[in-house]
Amino acid sequence: MPKGSDIFLQNVSKIVVFIILAFALYLFFTGHVSPGGGFIAGLTSAGALLLLALAFDIDTVRKVLPVDFKLVMALGLLIALCTGTGAFFFGEPFLKHAFGYFHLPLLGKTELHTALIFDLGVYLAVVGVTMTILITIGEDS
């Protein structure tokens, strides 16, 4: 982090990052019924992490999230792929989704959908991709 670090930015970031992440989480879960989805949620989450990197530095992001984002991306792709191939076990074609309504504690009647798992894959892949690009370029310059 450059020496003239911005105390306001840093402190605001500490709060705003969580708000953005929460918004991203909302976008992710609501995607099936209203605007949102894995792609946008992924980009928004990456935006939160980018803000963190701007306010502090990339090492902080690394410390907060000690993961290799290339692996995150790969994991996302793997999940998306597995959602597709999972349909095979039920004698269905590739990427055939299933859904049902369940009563869950706290949430009440909830729709559970395999498309959500696919979206999770998209989400992780997008976060991984964006962060890989940003960290790679950022570290180079």
Residue numbers at the binding site for other proteins (CB under 8 A): 27, 31-40, 43-44, 47, 70, 73-74, 76-77, 80-81, 84, 94-95, 97, 99, 111, 113, 115, 118-119, 121-122, 125-126, 128-130, 132-133, 136-137, 140-141
Distance between CA atoms of 21 and 62, rounded to whole angstroms? 17
List the structure tokens of 79.
């999940």
Specify the residue, 11 or 30, whose C-beta has the smaller distance to other proteins: 30
- 4 or 34: CB nearest other proteins: 34
CB of residue 4 to other proteins, shortest distance in Å:
20
| Least CB distance to other proteins at residue 90 (A) | 16
Residue with Cβ nearer other proteins (11 or 68): 68
Ramachandran bin of 123, using left for φ above 0, alpha for ψ from -120 to 50, beta for the remaining angles? alpha
Distance CA 78, CA 57 (A): 30
- Cβ pair 80, 74 in contact under 8 A: no
d(CA 26, CA 13): 19
In this complex, which beta carbon is closest to other proteins, that of residue 13 or of residue 125?
125
Nearest CA to 130 among 51, 29, 63? 51
Beta carbon of residue 35, minimum distance to other proteins (angstroms, whole number): 4
Minimum CB separation of residue 5 from other proteins in Å reads 21
